[in-house]
Amino acid sequence: MDYETPLFFHVMEYADAADRDVVDMVSGNPDWEPPEALRDGLREYADFDPDRFQYPASEGLSELREEIAARRGVDAAQIVVTNGAGEANYLAMARALERDAGDEILLTDPVYSYYPGKTTMLGGTQRYVAAGAEGQLDPAAVRAAASDETAAIVVNTPNNPTGAVYPAETMRELVAVAEDHDAVLISDEVYDHYDLSGQFASALETESTHRIVTNAVSKSMAVTGLRVGYVIFPPELVADAKSRHMLVNVATTRPGQYAALKAFRETGPDYYERNRELLRERVDTFTDALEAAGAEYTTPQGSFYVMARFDGYPGTLANVERLIDEAGVAGMPGEAFGDSRSEWLRFALVTPRVEEAARRLAAYFD
Ligand SMILES: Cc1ncc(COP(=O)(O)O)c(C=O)c1O
C-alpha cells in the first residue's frame, strides 16, 4: 500500500478529463456558500492600504488568535495560525516526533491518508489500530497498541472517511493513553461543525499537557481554498512549533486571516445549522438510493462522506476509474484509506446531484 502521495488529486484530474458528464464526489470541497461576512471581509481587504498587504505576524494575526482562544477556552499564546488543518497536523506531528519520546505514530485504519504520508516525511513510523465496522475507535485497542515508542496518537473526529463521531469517554481515554505513554494525542477536529449526532466532544474538554488540537475554517466555512487553520499546543510545546511554522511558511495568508476573523465574529449558529441540515438531507437521499440499489453503506454521524460497498466491485483505483467512465460517478477508492476498507468506495456529499449519482450507481450495479 503506497500512502506516500495521496490519490485525491489524481482521481479529481481523471474525473475532469473524462469525456462524459461525471457527478464529482471525490473531494472534500463543499459546494455550499461561505458565510456572507467572509465574502465581505475579502472584498474590504482589496481596498486596504499597502501596509496591510505585507507580512503579518508569523504566528497569526493577534486578533484572530485571541478570537480563537476565547472560543476554545485556551490562551492565545498556545495558538499558531496555519495554512489549513493540513499544516496544523504537520506541525503537531513534527512536534510530537521531536520530543524524543518515541518515533511511532499510532493511526487508525481506515485513516485520512495524509497522516501516513506526513509520518514518513517526518521520519516516523506508522502503527495502525483498526476502527470498528461503524468506524468507532476502541480506546482499549489503542492502549494495547501504545508503548514507549509511541510519539503521538492521531485521531480525527468527526471522521473522514467513516463518518464516526467519538464520544466524550473515548476522547478522555485517548488523552489518558497519551499521558500514560508520555505521548501526545493529536485530535484533528476539522469537521466539528458537521456533527450530525450531537455527540461530538473536543479533546480540549480534557485538560492535559498531552494533547494537541487542530482545526481550520476550510470545511466549517466552506472555503478549502482560503487556507486558514490553527493548532492549539500545550504551552510547553508551542515555541518550537512557531519556529518551524516560520521557517517553512514565513506566515499565513493575511487577507484570508482577516476574512476568517470577520466571519468568526459575525456569523451566527444558524449558518452552521443550515449546512448541517443540507448535509442531513443529502445523507438521507444518497443512502436511501444505495439501500434501494442493494449496496452496503455507512450512515455518517458527522463529516460529509458516505462509504459504500458493491458486491464484486472492490475499492481499487482501477474500479474508481471504471466507475467514472462507465457510470459517470466519481468517488475515492477505499484502499486509499487503508487495508480495512479496500472493498469500499467513498463518496463526498459535496454536490446537489447526490440523487442523480445514486441513480447512476443503482443502474450500473443492477
Ligand atoms: C481529516 C482531515 N484533516 C485535514 C484536512 C485538510 O484540511 P485543510 O484544507 O484545512 O488543510 C482534511 C481535508 O479533507 C481532512 O479531511
**What sign has the CA pseudo-torsion 42, 47, 51, 54?**
positive
Rounded distance from Cα 229 to ligand 1 centre (Å): 10
Residues with CB under 6 A from ligand 1: 28, 84-86, 112, 156, 160, 188, 190, 216, 218, 224, 229
Give me the pLDDT at residue 9, please: 83
Relative to the CA of 217, which ligand 1 atom is closest?
Answer: 10
Q: Give 268-310 as a DSSP string.
A: -HHHHHHHHHHHHHHHHHHHHHHHHTT-EE---SBSSEEEEEB
| Alpha helical stretches, state H, the chain | 8-17, 36-45, 62-72, 84-98, 114-121, 139-145, 168-180, 217-220, 238-249, 254-266, 269-292, 317-327, 354-364
Give me the pLDDT at residue 292, please: 87
Rounded distance from Cα 27 to ligand 1 centre (Å): 10
> Would you say 302 and 158 are in contact if contact means Cβ atoms under 8 Å apart?
yes
Is 3's pLDDT higher than 90? no
Rounded distance from Cα 29 to ligand 1 centre (Å): 10
Tens of pLDDT, residue by residue over 141-179, are 999 999 999 999 999 999 999 999 999 999 999 999 999
Rounded distance from Cα 292 to ligand 1 centre (Å): 31
The overall average pLDDT reported for the chain is: 95
Domains of the chain: 8-34+269-364 (3.90.1150.10), 36-266 (3.40.640.10)
Q: Choose one of 112, 156, 165, 221 to mutate for the ligand 1 pocket test, by most ligand atoms within 8 angstroms of C-beta.
A: 112
Q: How confident is the model at residue 293 (pLDDT cuts 50, 70, 90)?
A: confident
Nearest to 176, CA basis, from 137, 136, 127, 139? 139
Q: Choose one of 160, 200, 215, 349 to mutate for the ligand 1 pocket test, by most ligand atoms within 8 angstroms of C-beta.
A: 160
Task: Report the percent of the chain where pLDDT is more than 70.
Answer: 98
Give me the pLDDT at residue 4, please: 54
Tens of pLDDT, residue by residue over 136-145, are 999 999 999 9
Is 33's pLDDT higher than 70? yes
Is 261's pLDDT higher than 60? yes
Relative to the CA of 88, which ligand 1 atom is closest?
Answer: 11
Q: How confident is the model at residue 271 (pLDDT cuts 50, 70, 90)?
A: very high
Rounded distance from Cα 219 to ligand 1 centre (Å): 8
Relative to the CA of 224, which ligand 1 atom is closest?
Answer: 9
pTM over 0.95: yes
Rounded to an integer, what distance in angstroms lies between the CA atom of residue 127 and that of residue 146?
9
Rounded to an integer, what distance in angstroms lies between the CA atom of residue 163 and that of residue 158?
6
Q: How confident is the model at residue 307 (pLDDT cuts 50, 70, 90)?
A: very high
Residue whose C-alpha cell reads 476498507 in the numeric block: 341
Relative to the CA of 28, which ligand 1 atom is closest?
Answer: 14
Angle between helices 84-98 and 114-121 (to 10 degrees): 40
Beta strands in 146-195 (DSSP E): 150-156, 184-188
Is 296's pLDDT higher than 90? yes
Rounded to an integer, what distance in angstroms lies between the CA atom of residue 37 and that of residue 55?
23
Tell me the chain's radius of gyration from C-alpha atoms.
20
Give me the pLDDT at residue 2, please: 46
Tens of pLDDT, residue by residue over 77-99, are 999 999 999 999 999 999 999 99
Is 1's pLDDT higher than 60? no
Give me the pLDDT at residue 187, please: 98
Q: Choose one of 87, 157, 190, 304 to mutate for the ligand 1 pocket test, by most ligand atoms within 8 angstroms of C-beta.
A: 190
Nearest to 285, CA basis, from 184, 356, 199, 208? 356
Tens of pLDDT, residue by residue over 50-84, are 999 999 999 999 999 999 999 999 999 999 999 99
Amino acid at 286: F
Average pLDDT over residues 256-272: 98
* C-alpha cell belonging to residue 206: 480534557
Rounded distance from Cα 177 to ligand 1 centre (Å): 25
Q: Is 318 exposed, middle or buried (0-12, 13-18, 19+ CB in 10 A)?
A: exposed
Rounded distance from Cα 86 to ligand 1 centre (Å): 6
Q: Choose one of 25, 90, 108, 114 to mutate for the ligand 1 pocket test, by most ligand atoms within 8 angstroms of C-beta.
A: 114
Rounded distance from Cα 275 to ligand 1 centre (Å): 18
Rounded distance from Cα 190 to ligand 1 centre (Å): 6
Q: How confident is the model at residue 5 (pLDDT cuts 50, 70, 90)?
A: low
Average pLDDT over residues 32-56: 98
Is 262's pLDDT higher than 60? yes
Q: Choose one of 111, 217, 219 to mutate for the ligand 1 pocket test, by most ligand atoms within 8 angstroms of C-beta.
A: 219
Rounded distance from Cα 340 to ligand 1 centre (Å): 21
Between residues 332 and 9, the one the model is more confident about: 332
Average pLDDT over residues 250-258: 98
Rounded distance from Cα 46 to ligand 1 centre (Å): 27
Q: How confident is the model at residue 8 (pLDDT cuts 50, 70, 90)?
A: confident
* C-alpha cell belonging to residue 183: 505521548
Rounded to an integer, what distance in angstroms lies between the CA atom of residue 273 and that of residue 106?
33
